[in-house]
Amino acid sequence: MKAKRSGSSFNSLNSKRKLESVFLFTTGKCNARCAMCFYANDMEKKARDMSFEEIKKLSETAGQFNRLWLSGGEPTLREDLPEIVEMFYRNNGIKDINFPSNGIKSDLLIEWLKRLRKSCPNCNISISISVDGFGETHDKQRGTPSFYKAAETLKKIDDNFKDDGKIIKNIATVITKYNLDEILDFVAWIYGRFNVSTHTIEAARGTTREEGVKAVTEQSLREIQDAIAPYYLLYARRIGAGMNAIGRGLTEFFYVGLMRAMYNIRAQNIDKPVCWNMDCTAGETTLVLDYDGRFRACELREPIGHVKDYDYDIQKIMQSGAMKKEIEEIGHGYKANCWCTHGCWIMSSIVFNPLKMMSKLTAANREMKKLRRPVDISESFLNNLEEKYNIDRDKLKEAGIL
């Protein structure tokens, strides 16, 4: 299926703030036990997932918004997830879906993506597979042997949606004490072996399942960011392939600028909260719905109510005294001093700060020009990495990666 990516909600800058992103924790169930999971304590409560009918009421009252961010738990463990996404597409006109997964249930994931491409034809779907390191490192960090399954899933997604611009293929990696020493090699290997649009590198955030798993400081994260910077130029060129010169130039400016600007904000907030120099719009443009019906302005802040107390009406929730009080206490980040490293909130805020956004992108692109250098992604280099990290090449061949 050949299709071009339609305009993402990130493509339009807007200073008028309204609900733009709903973060739906689809389930409290997970088939992994990630050491760095920030949601583990919530899932340990083993509360009941919201029913389809409850979520339906929320969708019917939400009005139009742009982005549906799925989360969990593991979203593929929610059996009625396609119906939920289709409902938000019909009722709310969503333009972008962010779909994270650990990639363990690969065949089901492909089945659902095919279905959603037909039932939600005008929607961009960013499928983000979590891969945290080479082989045993990934398995240890994820708490389950899943490295080769995740790699297989990535290959299947590419095989099925190679020419489909509405399926945006991403990889997400969380830096911890387990993978810190191999992260630079891993970034190179991922670019060389997988046809993805983005590889995001995040530091562990919030209260993690395993104590002491956080491993980076501002200095070490900046060193990592500088070292992997050339790959983001390569990713921008990969995305822009086939565009005209103007399209390629704009893609490079925005992609490279956004990635660098986001990483700069993350680095400066690793050791302590530091002002983003733009408003955080949590609660104004974002709503988090926990799997059990609690709601928040931001994933990293405490729940402020339960949807049943507002008749499952999102308009009531957004206009509620509880949400207004939360927005006031956050004070666009300045009052609460809760500046964080969370890429979703950085990106959800930046489009509503258009002047600051352009300033940050311009500065970020200037920085990136100084960091450009050739990188080795030759077959011999990739082979050496696989030998160094004891990767089973026969399994990669079985998956069609080699």
Architecture per CATH, 17-398: Alpha-Beta Barrel (3.20)
What pLDDT score does 9 carry? 45
CB atoms closer than 10 angstroms to residue 327: 17
Q: How far apart are CA 119 and CA 96, in angstroms?
A: 14
Residue 62 burial by Cβ neighbours in a 10 Å radius (0-12, 13-18, 19+): buried
Cis peptide before 28, with omega less than 30 degrees from 0? Answer: no
Residue 333 region, left (φ>0) first, then alpha (ψ -120 to 50), else beta? left
What pLDDT shows up at residue 15? 61
> Would you state the pLDDT for residue 4?
64
User: Around Cβ 217, how many Cβ atoms within 10 Å?
Assistant: 13
| Chain-centroid distance, C-alpha 328 | 27
Name every residue whose Cβ is closer than 8 Å to that of residue 373 and which is 6 or more positions away in sequence: 230
Separation CA 349–CA 12 (nearest Å): 13
User: Which amino acid belongs to residue 392?
Assistant: D
Q: What pLDDT does 163 receive?
A: 87
**10-residue block means of pLDDT along the chain (402 residues)?**
54 71 97 94 91 98 96 96 98 97 97 98 97 98 97 97 94 96 98 96 91 94 96 95 93 95 95 95 96 96 97 98 98 96 90 91 95 95 98 96 96
Count Cβ atoms within 10 A of the Cβ of residue 236 and give its class: 0-12 exposed, 13-18 middle, 19 or more buried.
buried
C-alpha to C-alpha distances, 33 to 149, 186, 301, nearest whole angstrom: 16, 22, 22
Question: Which of 68, 72, 12, 76 lies closest to 43 in space, CA to CA?
Answer: 72
